[in-house]
Amino acid sequence: MQYYQECIALGSKTGIVLVSDASTSKIDALYKKLWRAIFLFERQFSRFLPGSELSMFNRNAGSKQVISPAFHDILLAAQAMALKTDGLYNPFVLPALQASGYVHSRVPGREQDTVDDHSRKSVTSIDRLEIEDNWARIPYGTALDLGGCGKGYLADQLRRDLPDIITGYWLSFGGDIAIGGNDEHKESWSVGIQSAVDQTKNIGTFTISRHCGVATSGITVHHGTKQGRQWHHLIDPRTRQPAETDILLATICDDSVLRADVLASCAVILGSDHCVPFLKRQGVRAAVMQCRSDKKVPRLLRFGNGIMIENNYA
């Protein structure tokens, strides 16, 4: 049987599909375990919650701080991705992100919640992050934003911990999805590729033949105006400003959700002239980038197997 539950978590709609022949009681118990892990993670690592471990870590920048095992692992993953992308991904961009205009949560009803303001702090490089077995430190006057690296880490962790009674799964955390196994008809999953011009529609699909992660990042959702100037949430670490790019949305299929999320953002920042060679060097399985065009629909860049695009959008 195929089961589905959803709620608002991690700043967006979160949905969990499980396929299993196990008893309903076992599935219910598993759902409770998964939701508990998701909400605990949000309380621990959301930058929008002043009491989270991440927020307290940022407030005490400059000091050695004891950190949880999960925070230790996420910081190591963020450090590794920053190095692997030559700094194109940089968790230190939070001050620039807030200075551009993205300060408060975008969850309806939470837009006016109190958050820590780091907009006057500095953006530094990943080599200033110190990590040891049970402590970490960032320079005084800096702050971290885990961004999709955190959600990707959680999705990868939860799917690895799924019990053997699960024959198929679909974990959707907003733009981050972990997929594996088969659906209730024992068929491969198909993941929709969201349209950059109409968020209610898909332009095509990825066909998933094995466990993988799919992530979408772009400049069409988290954006706004500050003092008459347009902003979006993807900061280019090289300029410390919202990226000047012709890519509206990038959707990446990779073995890891964390990698897919980080690399999707990197692709958007790089723009259409440089993203494809970069993604191929990173070993991405498949990708679709929707770019600005003088036509009614965006121009597409794509590579990899298992991509099906509707004819009216090709």
pTM for the full predicted model: 0.91
CA dist., res. 204 & res. 211, Å (int) = 20
What is the CB-side half-sphere exposure of residue 114 using CA atoms within 13 A?
3
| Cα dihedral: 22, 26, 28, 30 (round 10) | -100
In a 3-state reduction of DSSP, which class is residue 76? helix
CA dist., res. 110 & res. 3, Å (int) = 29
User: Does pLDDT of 314 surpass 70?
Assistant: no
CA dist., res. 163 & res. 74, Å (int) = 23
CA dist., res. 212 & res. 191, Å (int) = 11
Q: Are 235 and 241 in contact (CB under 8 A)?
A: yes
H or E stretch including 202? strand 202-208
**H helical segments located in the chain:** 24-45, 53-59, 69-84, 94-100, 148-160, 257-270, 275-281
Q: What is the pLDDT of residues 117-134, one digit of tens each?
A: 999 999 999 999 999 999
Angle between helices 69-84 and 257-270 (to 10 degrees): 40
Report, as an integer, the average pLDDT of 240-244. Answer: 90
Q: What is the pLDDT of residues 268-295, one digit of tens each?
A: 999 999 999 999 999 999 999 999 988 7
CA dist., res. 177 & res. 192, Å (int) = 11
Q: What is the pLDDT of residues 156-215, one digit of tens each?
A: 999 999 999 999 999 999 879 999 999 999 999 999 999 998 888 899 999 887 889 999
CA dist., res. 203 & res. 197, Å (int) = 10
